[in-house]
């Protein structure tokens, strides 16, 4: 008969410690008591364990509704021309997501005319009842950014006259003055064209269903849209 190899192996660590505990019960109890005292001291110094922090963060997040930006707490870097990270900050946040009318930490939103912003926020809240979410595809713009858009339009369309049908020069742009906002997506534009006058918001140009300004009093009648930005 062959010897059982397992019979010659050393006892597992757990068993050795158990055996030692049986042999020295007083010493084991003293060690456990010292460990408990150490935990109490560390808790008093450092506070509650970090395991409870996620629950605290969840409670804090729950206090913020979607109207104040919700998860959009990360602030985009601002610059003098409002272009944030080097692109038009009016079209997105630093995390790559689209802006909403409630991202007031962002210059493209915060620098809008206060009356315009209030009207757009009220409309956005009501649109949610119809499962429509507003995105601000462009809000306040700096003069420098507006000039770049005009230059790009001239290059794209081949002339100042054609570019002017879509882009105004900085000194005439209502985006630069903070009195215009571009809304998306298309279902939001359609909703606002039909209901915007309830908030004083009107589509300004026939060729830009996304461009809105305060052109009437809430509940009033919007003027007939102009043909284009040159009109």
CATH 2.40.10.340 fits 66-214, yes or no: no
pLDDT of 109 reads 97
Q: Which residue has the tokens 């060729």?
A: 207
Angle made by CA atoms 76, 110, 75, in degrees to the nearest 5: 20
For the record, the structure tokens of 144 come out as 């420098």
Per-residue model confidence as pLDDT tens for the chain (231 residues): 444 444 444 444 444 444 444 444 444 444 445 445 444 444 444 444 433 333 333 332 223 333 333 333 233 333 334 433 334 555 556 566 789 999 999 999 999 999 999 999 999 999 999 999 999 999 999 999 999 999 999 999 999 999 999 999 999 999 999 999 999 999 999 999 999 999 999 999 999 999 999 999 999 999 999 999 987
Query: C-alpha distances in angstroms, 110 versus 57, 105, 151?
Result: 26, 6, 26
**Spatial CA neighbour of 74 closest among 101, 97, 108:** 97
For residue 221, the number of C-alpha atoms closer than 13 Å in the C-beta half-sphere is 2
CB 166 within 8 A of CB 159: no
CA distance linking residue 9 with residue 201, whole number of Å: 84
For the chain, the straight-line distance linking the first and the last C-alpha, in angstroms and rounded, comes to 106
C-alpha 216 chain-centroid distance: 30
Residue-range domain boundaries for the chain: 5-47, 66-214
CB 178 within 8 A of CB 111: yes
């Amino acid at each position: 008969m062959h010897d059982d190899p397992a019979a010659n192996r050393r006892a597992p660590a757990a068993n050795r410690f158990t055996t030692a505990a049986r042999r020295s019960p007083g010493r084991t109890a003293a060690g456990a008591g010292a460990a408990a005292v150490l935990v109490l001291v560390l808790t008093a110094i450092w506070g509650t364990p970090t395991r409870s922090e996620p629950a605290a963060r969840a409670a804090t997040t729950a206090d913020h509704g979607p109207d104040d930006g919700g998860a959009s707490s990360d602030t985009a870097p601002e610059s003098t021309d409002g272009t944030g990270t080097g692109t038009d900050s009016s079209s997105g946040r630093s995390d790559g997501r689209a802006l909403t009318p409630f991202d007031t930490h962002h210059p493209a939103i915060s620098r809008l005319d206060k009356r315009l912003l209030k009207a757009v926020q009220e409309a956005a809240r009501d649109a949610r009842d119809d499962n429509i979410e507003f995105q601000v595809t462009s809000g306040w713009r700096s003069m420098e950014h507006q000039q770049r858009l005009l230059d790009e339009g001239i290059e794209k369309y081949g002339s100042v006259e054609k570019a002017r049908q879509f882009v105004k020069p900085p000194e005439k742009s209502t985006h630069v003055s903070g009195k215009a906002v571009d809304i998306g997506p298309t279902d939001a534009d359609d909703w606002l064209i039909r209901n915007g006058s309830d908030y004083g918001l009107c589509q300004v140009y026939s060729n830009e269903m996304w461009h809105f300004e305060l052109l009437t009093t809430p509940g009033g009648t919007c003027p007939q849209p102009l043909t284009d930005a040159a009109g």
